[in-house]
Amino acid sequence: MSPLSRCKEVIRYPVILGIALLAVAVTIAWWAGKDISPLFANAEIRRGQVWRLVTSILPHTDFLHLAFNLYWFWIFGNAIERVYGHFRTLLLVLLLAFGSSSFEFALSYGGVGLSGVGYGLFGLLYVLSKHDDRFKEYIHQKTVNLFLGWFVFCVFTTVTHIFNVGDVAHAAGAAFGWILGYALVLPRGRVPIVTGVAALILFGFAASTIWRPHLNLASKGGYDEGAWGYDALLADQNQEAIRWLRDALIYQPRMASYWFNLGLAYERENNPAAQAAYRRAHDLEPSNKKYADAIATRQ
């Protein structure tokens, strides 16, 4: 195939190509030290910045992470775009991004990269390859073994703390893709399946926002909120500090330092709840003289 033919072949898939190039650009900017923090999945999602659940698919931590994800995103993605067109491909990618990221953030820390979408496309194509001859060549048993093996390996590295991986995003992405695949190949069941997908999307939204403090399983859940509350306290932004620290304590109700900082913020606002916050900090760490002094000097 000539270079011109290759170029024409590539630009036939503008959605997949555009997202891939955007991921490369964002990742290189991050590696170069640029501030891309508005793209990451963090506690600001619970304050209305829901776009982070989608934009967090763009940054990648290292070259291997980027190369692996882009390879499979391209292989799987152009198969979908070739058959279903640009608009539906974009819609599918956005659904997989939001679905995988929302469950990852709700239950774990939230991550970066296209792997949740990649697993979603894998699940989608797995179903399509069984029911539509146009996709038969894209999913072989070796590919299935690779994705299952990689999933198990990633769970192992996360559980053993070798390095953390977005295992929830992988699982949720594959599940969303699998369900969407049946929505495409079973016309008679499309309405109930699409209704189920919509319900899952709504659940993911609620779980990553309103319900997250009560559902999150991460051992360090609420640490962002606690740190931001402390920073706000240092900046004399007391209402902001109260907001973040109260959130942090839903995740970590036995964190004495959060109670103490909340007491300081309350005291600055002349809120009588300050004394109760100080007492809670002292009850949790009775050996800490600072907490005892805070109670004694304010009685």
- Tens digits of per-residue pLDDT, 225-261? 999 999 999 999 999 999 999 999 999 999 999 999 9
- Tens digits of per-residue pLDDT, 120-144? 999 999 999 999 989 988 899 999 9
Q: How many residues does the chain have?
A: 299
pLDDT band at 299 (very low <50, low <70, confident <90, very high): low
User: What span, in angstroms and rounded, lies between the C-alpha atoms of 21 and 18?
Assistant: 5
CA dihedral 36→53→72→122, nearest 10 degrees, is: 170
Question: What pLDDT is stored for residue 11 in this prediction?
Answer: 78
Cβ pair 120, 132 in contact under 8 A: no
Q: Is the dihedral of CA 245, 258, 255, 167 positive or negative?
A: positive
pLDDT > 90: what percent of the chain?
82
Cβ pair 100, 108 in contact under 8 A: no
CA 43 vs CA 105, 170, 237: distances in Å: 9, 21, 18
Q: 193-223 burial, b if ≥16 CB within 10 A, otherwise e?
A: beeebeebeeebbebbbeebbeebeeeebbb
pLDDT > 70: what percent of the chain?
96
Whole-number mean pLDDT of the chain?
Answer: 92
Domains of the chain: 3-215 (1.20.1540.10), 223-296 (1.25.40.10)
- Tens digits of per-residue pLDDT, 71-102? 999 999 999 999 999 999 999 999 999 999 99
Task: Indicate the DSSP class of residue 163.
Answer: S
- Average pLDDT value for residue range 212-220: 88
